[in-house]
């Protein structure tokens, strides 16, 4: 590397140290100014010599449906090709992501792996089906000439939803031909309402409930829907958010018809022969 310097004093001079035989990686080149009286002052130039064969990544991207949602500058820590471990946060609504590495040299081969790999083919990376919490992805950058491999680890943290709402609530009864959907007295389910009522027949011993939460990983618990007693019954549907911070309860008042059958369950009669006494 050729370095030229100019001194302020024409009688001063300079010399360059450590610029011969630069090694791969970081090098400190010293430009030493020497005054007429012999005093010196050093200036340090940090020189990064690229390796002969480069297996670094230039950047890493995380995409959803073809749109980049996070890239190197958003990572923690901020992406640096020489650092191998990063953390990325994505929202609870993110289902699948494509993690890709951009090689610094075109000949470098990049592949990805994850325990949650979808199996879909991905160029320079891997597609991952995210689960709540931490998901680990590894990108392998392989230099083809000498086979050197750099492994970058990206820990993707999928946030958990705090939504404890339902998006669907359908009552039904079981019949010999399969489930039969019923209607609330108020009509169709309204996400803004939590109280409903319904009437069922005297022979209905159970009210089926299909409850669909907004967050697929929310917990739904249904109580009081079986066995149904004659008259009034109260069914509760309790939804707990995925992150377990919120709950929401929906109520269904069930009016089971009372029987109007006046027929006896059994009827029997007997006739005895009259007794005759002769005197």
pLDDT in tens, 31-40: 999 998 999 9
Q: Which pTM does this prediction carry?
A: 0.62
Question: Is 263 within a domain?
Answer: no
Which of 158, 51, 156 lies closest to 112 in space, CA to CA?
156
Q: Do 62 and 31 share a domain, yes or no?
A: no
CA angle 173, 177, 181 (to 5 degrees): 30
Question: Is 279 within a domain?
Answer: no
Confidence at 21, pLDDT banded by 50, 70, 90 = confident
Confidence at 224, pLDDT banded by 50, 70, 90 = very high
Question: Is 237 within a domain?
Answer: yes
Q: Do 241 and 215 share a domain, yes or no?
A: yes
- Residue 58: phi, psi to the nearest 5? -80, -35
Residue 248 is part of which domain span?
166-256
Question: Is 210 within a domain?
Answer: yes
Question: Is 116 within a domain?
Answer: yes
pLDDT in tens, 174-213: 999 999 999 999 999 999 999 999 999 999 999 999 999 9
Boundary of a domain, candidates 158, 186, 214:
158
Report whether pLDDT(254) > 90: yes
Identify each DSSP E strand in 50-132 by its residue range. Answer: 57-64, 67-71, 85-90, 96-103, 109-114, 125-129
Number of domains in the chain: 3
Average pLDDT value for residue range 152-172: 96
Query: Residue 108, preceding bond cis, omega within 30 degrees?
Result: no
pLDDT at 248: 98
Boundary of a domain, candidates 135, 158, 181:
158
Which tokens in the block code for residue 241?
């958010």
The DSSP output letter for 9 is S
Boundary of a domain, candidates 125, 158, 191:
158
Question: Is 67 within a domain?
Answer: yes
Q: Do 108 and 139 share a domain, yes or no?
A: yes
């Amino acid at each position: 590397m050729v370095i030229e310097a100019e001194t302020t004093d024409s009688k001063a001079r300079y010399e360059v140290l450590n610029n011969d035989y630069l090694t791969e990686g970081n090098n400190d080149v010293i430009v030493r100014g020497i005054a007429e009286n012999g005093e010196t002052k050093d200036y340090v130039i940090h020189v990064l010599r690229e390796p002969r064969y480069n297996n670094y990544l230039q950047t890493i991207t995380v995409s959803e449906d073809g749109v980049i949602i996070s890239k190197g500058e958003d990572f923690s820590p901020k992406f640096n090709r020489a650092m191998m471990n990063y953390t990325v946060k994505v929202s609870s609504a993110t289902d699948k992501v494509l993690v890709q590495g951009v090689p610094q040299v075109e000949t470098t081969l990049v592949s990805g792996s994850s325990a949650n790999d979808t199996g879909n083919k991905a160029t320079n990376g891997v597609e991952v089906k995210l689960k709540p919490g931490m998901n680990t992805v590894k990108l392998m950058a392989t230099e083809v000439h000498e086979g050197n491999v750099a492994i970058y680890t990206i820990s993707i943290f999928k946030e958990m939803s705090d939504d404890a709402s339902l998006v669907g609530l359908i009552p039904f009864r079981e019949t010999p031909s399969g489930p039969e959907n019923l209607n609330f007295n108020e009509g169709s389910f309204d996400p803004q309402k939590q109280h409903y009522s319904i009437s069922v027949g005297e022979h209905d011993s159970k009210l089926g409930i299909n409850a669909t939460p907004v967050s697929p990983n929310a917990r739904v618990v249904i109580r009081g829907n079986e066995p149904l007693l004659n008259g009034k019954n109260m069914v509760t549907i309790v939804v707990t958010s995925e992150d377990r911070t919120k709950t929401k309860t929906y109520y269904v008042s069930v009016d089971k018809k009372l029987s109007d059958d006046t027929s006896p369950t059994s009827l029997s009669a007997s006739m005895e022969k009259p007794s005759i006494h002769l005197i």
